[in-house]
Amino acid sequence: MGVSKGDEMLINEIKAGNKMAFEALVLKYTPKLMSVLTGYTKSKDHAEELCQTTFFKVWQKINTFKGESSLFTWIYRIGINLAKNDFASRFSKNSMITERLDQDRHDFPEYRSPETELIAAESESKIMQFIQSLDEDTKIAFTLREIEGRAYDEIAKILNCPIGTVRSRIFRARQLILEFMNQENIFNG
Amino acid sequence: MDKNLEKMSALYDGELSQNEMQEIITEMDSDRSLRNAFYKFGVISELMQRHSDQQNSKISYLQNYYRKFNPLITNLATAAATVLLTLIVLHQFDDDRFTVNKETSFQLSSAISSDQAKVQLLNADQNIMDHMIQIMQSNQSNKSQQLSKNWIPVGFSVSPNNPNQYSNGKNNLFFHLENKQLGIKNVKYFKANNNWIYLIPLKDGRLLTAYGDIPPSIADQMIQSIYQRN
């Protein structure tokens, strides 16, 4: 699977120097990357550090991204390679990687790093239950997007409705989930 | 605010035009709440995908298990089994409208948690699984079955291409009739995305299976009608 149309536009903006587009990319992919890195390192603090370094590398190397894989696959590879190198360096007492990165940080945009708070397992379960309770039309559109990764036009064909309806149903699902998270005081960072 | 949030949602999915994307990214720069919402979209997405991956790993475990006990099944049957397992594992039984037997659902949950229960599940549900696979394959078949007109929901008519398929122009419904009930005592139904499968044990000892994009609101009337006239 190659890069999606939306990510391609985001990448083009970043390549053109749009720092807010880079921040959007960071916001979009931090949760997934943190999940992977936390699983790998078993440490939230360590994962956060690696996450920031990964996005620094992404900023540095964005011009080399050819779109042969999805954007997240590319980011994931960078993150995992950094984690592996970091793991190895802890044993060889070699801190060269971190030092070398720090020297190049002068052109790195000062993006506002999100609060990488982790959701407690109990709250995860509540959110998943809430998603199950969404009305059928909303839940189906949202699931087709989030789980199956379908584009809006594909979902519109499957559900036999206009693309605008798909867009508003998916938004509605997200809006309701956000409201639920606020009500339940889940992740208000 | 809601309009901007809706645009953020579309931006998250990569479904904005270049101009819209530039506009909303500019808005994001000055609006912390939009940035927070965008980040939370990522949190929700990660959560959903991780739970889906966990479910899929259960499916592939059950699929491998099923294949091990049925080494002669065809690729088509394997695919159908995957669909079936996906239906069962990802979408639990709905039990708010019919007297649904929760046993199968319970057994599946148990199956995932213990080896002994896995054996029990697959033994207990083997007939149902085989039946479902057969149905999925038979939907491709044009062999006519003796379906009572009373079973067909109002407004549905038979498809010219398949005597077992009925449509009201919007929804499609396939029927399959079996001479055994596979131990099913009450109506059971499964759902996956916008499709439902209803297993309806008839009083004469046969099992009617209805499959299609017919929600319970329509199927409820159909099933009541079947029981009144059967």
- Measure the CA–CA gap between B204 and A189, rounded to whole angstroms: 61
Q: Is the pLDDT of residue B1 over 80?
A: no
**What is the ipTM metric for this complex?**
0.85
Residue B2, chain A, CB below 8 Å: the answer is: yes
Residue B154's pLDDT band (boundaries 50, 70, 90)? confident
Q: Which of B4, B20, B44 to mutate to test the interface with A (most CBs of A within 10 A)?
A: B44
Residue B35, chain A, CB below 8 Å: the answer is: yes
- Do the chains contact at A147 and B48, CB–CB below 8 Å? yes
% of chain B beyond a pLDDT of 70: 52
The chain A residue lying nearest B51, using CA atoms, is: A128
Q: Which two tokens stand for residue B112?
A: 């995932």
- Measure the CA–CA gap between B9 and A74, rounded to whole angstroms: 23
B91: chain A residues, CB-CB within 8 Å: none
Residue A188 has a pLDDT of 59
- Measure the CA–CA gap between B87 and A166, rounded to whole angstroms: 23
State mean pLDDT over B181-190.
69
- Do the chains contact at B49 and A7, CB–CB below 8 Å? no
Looking at residue B92, what DSSP letter applies?
Answer: P
Tens digit of each residue's pLDDT (9 = 90 or more) over A135-174? 888 888 898 888 878 899 988 888 888 999 999 999 999 9
Strand, coil or helix: B207: strand
Per mean pLDDT, which range of A106-110, A144-148, B23-27, B152-156 is the poorest? A106-110
Q: pTM of the prediction? A: 0.57
Q: Is the pLDDT of residue B194 over 70?
A: no
Q: Is the pLDDT of residue A87 over 70?
A: yes
Residue that wins the pLDDT comparison between A95 and B170: B170
Asked if residue B10 lies in contact with residue A153, where contact means CB atoms within 8 angstroms, the answer is no
Q: Is the pLDDT of residue B129 over 70?
A: no
- Do the chains contact at B35 and A5, CB–CB below 8 Å? no
Tens digit of each residue's pLDDT (9 = 90 or more) over B76-124? 444 444 444 444 443 333 333 333 333 443 333 333 333 433 333 344 4
- Measure the CA–CA gap between B12 and A178, rounded to whole angstroms: 15
Q: Which residues pair with B211 in a beta bridge?
A: B174, B197
Q: Which of A71, A133, A146 to mutate to test the interface with B (most CBs of B within 10 A)?
A: A146
Secondary structure element (H or E) that encloses residue B196, with its range: strand B195-201
B193: chain A residues, CB-CB within 8 Å: 140, 143-144, 158
Residue B124 has a pLDDT of 40
Residue A39 has a pLDDT of 83
The chain B residue lying nearest A39, using CA atoms, is: B50
Q: Is the pLDDT of residue B162 over 50?
A: yes
The chain B residue lying nearest A114, using CA atoms, is: B39
Looking at residue A59, what DSSP letter applies?
Answer: H
Tens digit of each residue's pLDDT (9 = 90 or more) over A7-50? 999 999 999 888 899 999 999 999 999 988 988 888 888 889 99
- Do the chains contact at B194 and A159, CB–CB below 8 Å? yes
The phi, psi pair for B142, rounded to 5°, reads -105, 10
- Do the chains contact at A146 and B45, CB–CB below 8 Å? yes
- Measure the CA–CA gap between A140 and A155, rounded to whole angstroms: 9
Residue B13 has a pLDDT of 94
